[in-house]
Amino acid sequence: MHSRRRYRSARWWWRSRSPRPCSGAFWRTPTPSPRHLRIERVTYRVLRLDPDADQHWRSYVLSLLGFSLIGIVVLFGGFGRLQSHLPLSLGMAALPSDGAWNTAVSFVTNTNWQWYSGEAAVGHLYQMAGLAVQNFLSAAVGLSVAAAFARSLARSENGGRIGNFWTDLIRGTLRVLLPIAFVGALLLVAEGVVQNFDTPHMITTLAGGGQSVPGGPVVSQEVIKELGTNGGGFYNANSAHPFENPTALSNLFEIYLMLLIPFAIPLAFGRIVGARRNGYVIAAVMSLLLAVSVTLLTVAERAGPGAASAAADGAMEGKEVRFGEAASALFAAATTGTSTGAVDAMHDSLTAPGGGVALLNMMSGEIAPGGVGSGLTMRLRSGCADPPRCRH
């Protein structure tokens, strides 16, 4: 009896203090929780923010746009154009103006489209203090938008007040993204993902030639690349590179990271609007659509046409042998369904039907399950849930 009572007390203590990031516990009600963690209170004081202020939706949007604009300016001017003067630049030249602007806008907007090869054009400091930081912040902005959108439905008669952008941004970063990324990084390091500040090593190959092997702070960017549905890789080959994704287990874990938050957000949405069944319905529809695309892609890649595919028991062109067709198809469905953009196989080498499924996922508007934050809003716009009913 006493042991059971102690167990219940311990369980209550843990649940009452755990942020439970994936369940949306920190933004599960129409009114944001007044309880702030110590590190959050310090952050608010340093930035001179009032975390309990309830912003009108216009102020919320202006705060979001202003924050994003500052991020673009810093990433463009402070990192891209000044890279040659930064420490840990590895002798890399500054990016051209158009390329630096493209990269800044791309990473701040969670697009993460890359025109360059990371290991050949970007130094370590730019990677970890510029690009990786924006991977966190752009995902936190997506979480904030999802929270504000859900509150707008739950608090439709509150004069257009939808919470505080700065509170949502800081909580999303400190309570959701950073804890999961920290644990995920440790797991990926255990699987062999690289994390160092080494300059490229010159080695001699078995054939007697020379080869440059680049290192760097890879895992710190890899984990948030997948968790935040960002997609921009440290290396040009992205998650097909063995330093980013060395084993079949790390491949499955990266797929899990991509899907974690997009599937958790609908459940948090149900809590906010007071209609959990709506959240379950949204998540169920997302799961069904993703399962269909995974099935079609796997069948297409396993039954690739031609003598080469028959000899390899599937269409292995552009795929890593350590992953195979099925895992590559699963990754392709997950990355296109979440608008992540990371790849563990070359999508231009997919079979015609498999490539068609990947394109359909990209063109369907981020609904199966969509990116961090954007998946929920696009799913609701497509009619999976009835917004007026969510208000009751």
Residue 312 has pLDDT above 90, yes or no: no
Domain ranges of the chain: 264-390
Residue 242 has pLDDT above 60, yes or no: yes
Average pLDDT, the chain: 86
Q: SS3 of 232, please?
A: coil
Query: Is the full-model pTM beyond 0.85?
Result: yes
Residue 30 has pLDDT above 60, yes or no: no
Please report the pLDDT score of residue 203 as a whole number.
87
Residue 179 has pLDDT above 90, yes or no: yes
Please report the pLDDT score of residue 12 as a whole number.
40
Mean pLDDT of 124-132: 95
Residue 22 makes CB contacts below 8 A (sequence gap 6+) with: 176, 180, 260, 261, 264
Half-sphere exposure of 392 (CA within 13 A, CB side): 3
Mean pLDDT of 72-85: 96
**Listed residue (214, 262, 264, 251) closest to 342, CA to CA:** 251
Both tokens assigned to 371: 């990116």
In the chain, % of residues over pLDDT 90: 62
With residue 38 as reference, give the H or E element that holds it.
Answer: helix 38-47
Dihedrals phi, psi of 228, to nearest 5 degrees: -90, 10
Distance CA 230, CA 222 (A): 10
Residue 150 has pLDDT above 60, yes or no: yes
50-54-57 Cα angle (round to 5) = 125
Mean pLDDT of 168-183: 95
- Of 1-5, 60-64, 96-100, 267-271, least confident by mean pLDDT is 1-5
Mean pLDDT of 246-267: 95
Q: Confidence band (pLDDT; 50, 70, 90) for 71?
A: very high
Tell me which DSSP letter residue 348 carries. G
291-367-273 Cα angle (round to 5) = 110
Distance CA 38, CA 383 (A): 40
CB 244 within 8 A of CB 233: yes
Residue pLDDT, tens place only, 377-387: 776 766 544 55
Residue 16 makes CB contacts below 8 A (sequence gap 6+) with: none
